[in-house]
Structure 1
Amino acid sequence: MYGLKTEASFDSAHFLADYYGKCENLHGHRWRVVAYLRADELGATGTQRDMVCDFGVFKREVRALAEELDHTFLVEEGTLAPATIEALTSEGFSLTMLPFRTTAENLARHFCERLRGRGMPCSQVDVYETPLNCATYVAEEPPAR
């Protein structure tokens, strides 16, 4: 089994709807994303011969996904009133509407699924919302090659 790992980070704000504690209020994080690729075999031909994946390609993909969320307000669809969304966007705030609760667990799954959708053999993603607290998503099935 072979593997690669790379990291990226982004800053964004969020809140947790239907949560009763500090995180129900708007707050921000410097999120750290650690992505892992896994392959049983190394590439056999071409520029990726004897590689899981080109590190340059892998780094660009992870960083591009992090950049999509950088300096935005992550909002679970349906948790803010339309008037609130309209007021924020009219003031020039960048909102990223997501179809899931914006927990570190769901963001880890989001990154893993997006990487797999881009042809990366992603096996795991860790998302840190603080330097000491991280959520992990492990893909259940082996990545496609």
Structure 2
Amino acid sequence: MMIQKQYKFYAAHRNEELNDKCSNLHGHRYGVTCFFEVERTGSLTTLFADFDDSIEPHLKREYDHAMMIHVKDPLYQTLLRHMKETGETLRLKCFSCPTTVENLAHQLFTEITEMGFRLNRLEIRETDTSVVSYTREDWVNDNRYFASYQIPPSESVS
């Protein structure tokens, strides 16, 4: 059986590898739809709150109103220097790869799976007309891809 849950968060990012408007710092209202595999164990499979109690605080703490940034983006060092010089704390969600919606899907799939949920599919809406559908098969393939390049896991800086 599948249970579907929807979440949202606001975050800034840029893709420093592109030579178009997306290389500029900008933000999105991301919509995240999770499709969980659950098994009936009686009259009830899972409480919806079981998902919300773990996933909502994680998204708020790690992503909401943060800047997702690739640690190899030159802007990252500039932001670290700015925080050190001014004492200002910026909410940065660091990625070991460019902050594309595809890479965000991989990162979120990993984090939600590590919470112990059986995620079947994840959909991320970046704009009203642009959605990435990311499956467990995509996640397995991406894990192989990232492992072959020995990319370290992302880390969060706040």
* TM-score in terms of structure 1 length: 0.82
Q: What is the number of equivalent residue pairs in this alignment?
A: 134
The residue number in structure 1 matching 2:50 is 57
Q: Is the 8 A contact 1:36 1:124 kept in 2?
A: yes
Alignment of 1:121-140 (within 5 A): 121-140=118-137
- What's the C-alpha RMSD, in Å, of the aligned pairs? 2.0
Distance 2:72 2:133 in 1: 25
Distance 2:97 2:133 in 1: 16
Which structure features the higher share of helix residues?
Answer: 2
Moved over 6 A (4+): none
Which of 81, 87, 91 is the matching residue for 2:82? Answer: 87
Listed one character per residue, the Cα deviations across residues 11-62 of structure 1 (whole Å, up to 9, x for unaligned) are: 11100011111101100111111111014x3236xxxx640x3210112222
DSSP 3-state at the match of 1:109: helix
Structure 1: runs of 5+ lacking an equivalent:
none
Structure 2: runs of 5+ lacking an equivalent:
139-158
Q: Is it true that 1:43 corresponds to 2:38 in the alignment?
A: no
Deviates more, 1:68-77 or 1:54-63: 54-63
The residue number in structure 1 matching 2:71 is 77
Distance 2:133 2:94 in 1: 22
Give the aligned residue type for 2:82. Answer: A
DSSP 3-state at the match of 2:137: coil
DSSP 3-state at the match of 1:129: strand
Q: Is it true that 1:15 corresponds to 2:14 in the alignment?
A: yes
Query: How big is the shift at 1:88?
Result: 4.8
Query: How big is the shift at 1:112?
Result: 1.4
Distance 1:138 1:24 in 2: 27
* TM-score in terms of structure 2 length: 0.76
Q: Is the 8 A contact 1:14 1:74 kept in 2?
A: yes
Q: Is the 8 A contact 1:108 1:137 kept in 2?
A: yes
